[in-house]
Amino acid sequence: MTTTPVPTRAETEAMIADVLAQYPKKAAKFRAKHIKANDPEGSKECEVKSNIKSRPGVMTIRGCSYAGSKGVVWGPVKDMVTISHGPVGCGQYSWATRRNYAHGHLGVNNWTAMQVTTDFQEKDIVFGGDTKLEKVLDEIVDLFPLAKGISVQSECPIGLIGDDIEAVSKKSSKKLGLPIIPVRCEGFRGVSQSLGHHIANDAVRDHVLGTGEGTFEQTDYDVALIGDYNIGGDVWASRRILEEMGLRVIAQWSGDGTINEMASTHLSKLNLIHCYRSMNYICTTMEERYNTPWTEFNFFGPTKIVSSMRKIAEFFDDEIKAKTEAAIARYQVRFDEIIKAFRPRLEGKRVMLAIGGLRPRHTIGAYEDLGMEVIGTGYEFAHKDDYTRTYGMLKEGVVLYDDPTAFEVEEFAKHLKPDLMGAGVKEKYVFHKMGIPFRQMHSWDYSGPYHGVDGFAVFARDMDQAVNSPTWDLLEAPWSKAGEVA
Amino acid sequence: MTTPEHTSAIPLQVLDHNDVFRDEVYQEQFENKREFENGASKEEVERVLQWTQTWEYREKNFARESLTVNPAKACQPLGAVLAGLGFEGTLPLVHGSQGCVSYFRSHFARHFKEPVPAASTSMTEDAAVFGGINNLVEAMDNMSALYKPKHIAVSTTCMAEVIGEDLFSYIGAAREQEAISQDFPVSYAHTPSFVGSHINGYDVMLKGILDSLSKSADADASKIEKSDKVRLNIIPGFDTYVGNHREYRRMLELMGVHPIILGDHSASLDSPADGEYDLYPGGTTLVDGAQAKFNRASFILQESTLRRTAELIRDVWKQELVTLETPIGVTGTDAFVTAVARTADVKVPAELTLERGRLVDAITDSSAYVHGKRVAIAGDPDLVVALTRFVLELGMVPVHIVSTNADSTFKARMEKMLSASKFGDAATVWPEKDLWHLRSLVFTEPVDLLIGSMQLKWIGRETNTPLFRVGFPIFDRHHLHRFPIVGYAGGLHLLTGLVNTILDELDRNAPAHSYDAVR
């Protein structure tokens, strides 16, 4: 089965059946709807079900609503203090691990890589935590006078014990004279991080959007960069391209972003969205409220960067179009150099991915630019509209898995024997043991940026160093017979 | 630029985030973006920064009553997962919201650089209303089919605890509904994250496991293999140094004692890369766990952490219980070796005496560089106590001692130790304080060295103080956990790291004339 780069649909279906046969009946029936052999036409029988509860006990790779709100949307807003409201754990595990880079001094005018929590104790559960929250808000303002706002990120207990964080936030906001935003992102809400993104977007909509008057003269070229969390500096590399096209970025959502930028985004002439899954909500809101058009773009790899630049330029005048073409011509030199260096080393290599809500499709082009092929991909927390966008990007027969379990990812890898696996830190070391090259595709494995022209070079280098590392030749001891390693 | 020039192995010079943003284009971008941020002026930021380093700020910082900033503690179920991973064929299952389990798995994976299997019952809104019995039953069914554990260790998230889930009856239901067989081993513990910290979760889960195993069919003294060797239980606790588990085993075997490490995650969190992924690479066998109560004695090596486990051993097993400080350093290890020899009625072998002598020899070699150095120490209470004893032994001067998750006995325990040493009188002990408190302490009363987890790194950078990493979590340095820090061998590892951290710092800051070739 693995001699051809991509198995046929029938072969993939047989592989899926094989893996599902090991599940109990109920779970097998459920999982069958989430795993399909791709049909680029997106036919009904190949439609992947998504955004549905994970089965208990299967070792889902998903997180929770809090992770989607605190970890993704709100946490990177650098001049706000993000409170992990509830017990100590959630904030502890998400402390500084997502690599949302930001300028500013930690604890003075930047709180991104800090863990600020109400640290609930039993008495807070029994008697309610509103009094404590109010006190915590006072103390934050006292210790962090340059904070421009505070968001209250609810952990599970908040919604279960009937706390009124909205009332506390409203009262304290008035008293302390700064925005305090209650967010109902309790981890048990919804089925994954995804609802947390939505809840977080709604909180921005209700409390921040349109409240700024703009601290700058407006121009016709003002755009907002939405859905880029500046992992390893991604947003900076993307912003560079937009600026070289002659556009002016007035807001970053939310990597290295500020509350003032979010509050002033309604002044944008065009909203550019990278991570559609986590921030389409706010784009739709701005379209409805302010008639701001929005467009999706993809800054992974030359092909997608160039087509995205042209797509964005279409919204503007000839001057922008000319600058865009000039920039593309300059970038092409660098693209050629990168591809010349790395493509021969990666040509024909087969990639499996299991990532969040955007990258399982958005990175496909970048791999293809390097001569690599994605032979299996899936999302942790996508919706139907993400899969609709995915089918046509992949060949027939490629396996698509929604909310894959640890078991499935491992089994599919055993069947398909990819040359590279891209997933998260929970998966990483399994594949190291198996001798399959691996890159973390959430955190960029502590590297990056991967966006933009500068990011593509890093992406290519990192894939090369994973695939072509000499360490993979060391796995077998010379005295162990092949396949019989002790 | 640290990237090498083009070679056949490195075909193109590529700048990543460490270097690429130094470019003028980016520097200009960052400067121009300030217009849209509407932040404080650079002067104002600098003024506030300076103020946060003052005594005035320290007093304000210590006056807070409700806010927690950068605590050095995690929540109970994290510890419960580690306890589960210490036993053969065991898959931890955490009952409640699923995001928690993803966090635990990521957190440990970042520290150990290892896979961390654990499952969730994936409770959502409906389970919050109606209870999660069906979730737990289905979880056991799915886990059994996919991951084939020999034993499941169940703990809880705060969601399950707030709504009052009854694990005992749910596990019964899983047996009734044949998700698992009647005799399939399941242990459980309630681990509310709004009580205590990860160390308490470790404790109650370990107690749960030992309690259930010791009631299993394997708990039969007649089944114990006959041997002249005395069997002793060693209970390391929430100990993230897999090298420690191996060191305890080695030392006891040298002494002619049969060691039973209860909660031995050294296999599951340090497995080989050999082409196969093994979900269950080892751990304390379930049989050893079951028979542990028949062994001569149990050694508790983390007093604050293991209180409930100690109760089980003393009150239910009625077994001899030896509670010692974690054996770090010379006197710590002496006390351990002495107690093992006495309890097992064996002689200390010459080899251990030799190892002790080598450690003492090494300390005398390094003494001049560590003597009198002022240190701040932070971490879990038992580790902090043991480390403090070691630094006192070296003639270092502990100044700030912080333990966010210290219990009520911590302060007295520390003060007793400090007052027994000539080097202890400069120390102040800060139970329940966090690392934002520690930041103020170090700014106002500087030290030469920080000792603690990766989470102290920001204080180190801001105050220009070197950090010697000990404890958990350590995400940003590799392999430290693979070596022991207990026993004489562990003492040598710790000393090597400590003194060389100081020497690196000395070299980095030395004027040209004092940049000595010999130290």
Q: For each of the domains in chain A, give its residue range(s) and CATH number, in order of start.
A: 9-59+343-473 (3.40.50.1980), 65-207 (3.40.50.1980), 222-329 (3.40.50.1980)
Distance (Å, whole) CA B314 – CA B321? 6
Return all residues near A408 (Cβ < 8 A) that are at least 6 apart. A19, A31, A35, A401
- Chain B CB contacts of A184 below 8 Å: none
Q: Is residue B518 in a domain? A: no
Q: Tell me: the pLDDT tens digits for A334-362?
A: 999 999 999 999 999 999 999 999 999 99
Percent with pLDDT over 70 in chain B: 99
pLDDT for A5 equals 64
Cα–Cα distance list, B52 to A145, B69, B325, B479 (Å): 10, 14, 37, 35
The token pair that represents B165 in the structure block: 């889930």
Same domain as B167, residue B253: no
Q: Tell me: the pLDDT tens digits for B451-489?
A: 999 999 999 999 999 999 999 999 999 999 999 999 999
Q: Are strands A35-37 and A399-401 parallel, antiparallel or unpaired?
A: antiparallel
- Chain B CB contacts of A232 below 8 Å: 16-17
B178 burial class (0-12, 13-18, 19+ CB within 10 angstroms)? exposed
Q: Is residue B389 in a domain? A: yes
**pLDDT interval class at A115 (50, 70, 90):** very high
Task: Tell me whether B421 touches chain A (CB under 8 Å).
Answer: no
Note the Cα A224 to chain centre separation in Å.
Answer: 18
Q: What is the ipTM of this complex?
A: 0.97
Same domain as B209, residue B237: no
Distance (Å, whole) CA B306 – CA B323? 10
Average the pLDDT over B426-449 and give the result. Answer: 98
Q: Is the confidence at residue A3, as pLDDT, over 60?
A: no
pLDDT for B427 equals 98
Q: Name which of A93, A439, A480 to mutate to probe chain B: the one with the most chain B Cβ atoms within 10 A of its Cβ.
A: A93
Q: Name which of B65, B184, B194, B459 to mutate to probe chain A: the one with the most chain A Cβ atoms within 10 A of its Cβ.
A: B194
Q: Is the confidence at residue A220, as pLDDT, over 70?
A: yes
Q: Is residue B55 in a domain? A: no
Distance (Å, whole) CA A395 – CA A426? 28
Beta carbons of A64 and B66 less than 8 Å apart: no
- Which of A114, A159, A457 lies nearest to residue B69, judging by beta carbons? A114
Task: Tell me whether B276 touches chain A (CB under 8 Å).
Answer: yes
Q: What is the count of residue pairs from A and B with beta carbons less than 8 Å apart?
A: 346
pLDDT for A1 equals 39
Q: Tell me: the pLDDT tens digits for B191-230?
A: 999 999 999 999 999 999 999 999 999 999 998 988 999 9
Q: Is residue B109 in a domain? A: yes
Higher pLDDT, B273 or A481: B273
Q: Is the confidence at residue B174, as pLDDT, over 50?
A: yes
Q: Which residues of B belong to the active site?
A: 158, 162
Cα–Cα distance list, A255 to A175, A204, A229, A246, B270 (Å): 29, 15, 4, 21, 35
Same domain as B477, residue B383: yes
- Chain B CB contacts of A477 below 8 Å: 274
Same domain as B266, residue B202: no
Beta carbons of A249 and B68 less than 8 Å apart: no
Q: Is the confidence at residue A261, as pLDDT, over 50?
A: yes
Contact criterion met (CB below 8 Å) for A421 and A352? yes
Same domain as B205, residue B238: no
Q: Is residue B221 in a domain? A: no
Same domain as B505, residue B373: yes
Same domain as B488, residue B445: yes
Up-side HSE of residue B120: CA atoms within 13 Å toward CB? 34
Q: Is residue B126 in a domain? A: yes
Same domain as B440, residue B316: no
**pLDDT interval class at B5 (50, 70, 90):** low
Which CATH number belongs to the domain containing residue B302 in this structure?
3.40.50.1980
Residue where a domain terminates, one of B181, B213, B245 = B213
How distant is the Cα of A6 from the closest Cα of chain B, in angstroms?
23
Average the pLDDT over B267-289 and give the result. Answer: 97
Same domain as B381, residue B335: no
- Chain A CB contacts of B14 below 8 Å: 338, 457-458, 460-461
Task: Tell me whether B374 touches chain A (CB under 8 Å).
Answer: no
Task: Tell me whether B81 touches chain A (CB under 8 Å).
Answer: no
Q: Is the confidence at residue B70, as pLDDT, over 70?
A: yes
How distant is the Cα of B239 from the closest Cα of chain A, in angstroms?
18
Query: Which candidate in A85, A98, A239, A277 is catalytic?
Result: A98
Q: Tell me: the pLDDT tens digits for B86-133?
A: 999 999 999 999 999 999 999 999 999 999 999 999 999 999 999 999
Beta carbons of B107 and A108 less than 8 Å apart: no
Q: What is the pTM of this model?
A: 0.98
Same domain as B243, residue B197: no
Residue where a domain terminates, one of B289, B321, B351 = B351
Average the pLDDT over B320-333 and give the result. Answer: 98
Beta carbons of A64 and B12 less than 8 Å apart: no
Domains in chain B, number: 3
Q: Is the confidence at residue B2, as pLDDT, over 60?
A: no
Beta carbons of A341 and B193 less than 8 Å apart: no
Q: Is residue B155 in a domain? A: yes
Same domain as B480, residue B390: yes
**pLDDT interval class at B7 (50, 70, 90):** confident
Q: What angle do CA B248, B249, B252 make, to 5 degrees?
A: 85
pLDDT for A485 equals 47
Q: Is the confidence at residue A306, as pLDDT, over 50?
A: yes
Annotation marks residue A64 as catalytic: yes
Interface of B with A in 466-485 (CB under 8 A): 475
Can you give the residue range of the structural domain that contains B307? Answer: 233-351
Beta carbons of A426 and B115 less than 8 Å apart: yes
pLDDT for B1 equals 45
Q: Is residue B484 in a domain? A: yes
Distance (Å, whole) CA A434 – CA A412? 13
Same domain as B189, residue B95: yes
Interface of B with A in 193-232 (CB under 8 A): 193-195, 197
The token pair that represents B313 in the structure block: 């051993």
pLDDT for A319 equals 98
Beta carbons of A58 and B142 less than 8 Å apart: yes
Query: Which candidate in A34, A37, A55, A64 is catalytic?
Result: A64
- Chain A CB contacts of B162 below 8 Å: 125, 156-157, 160-161
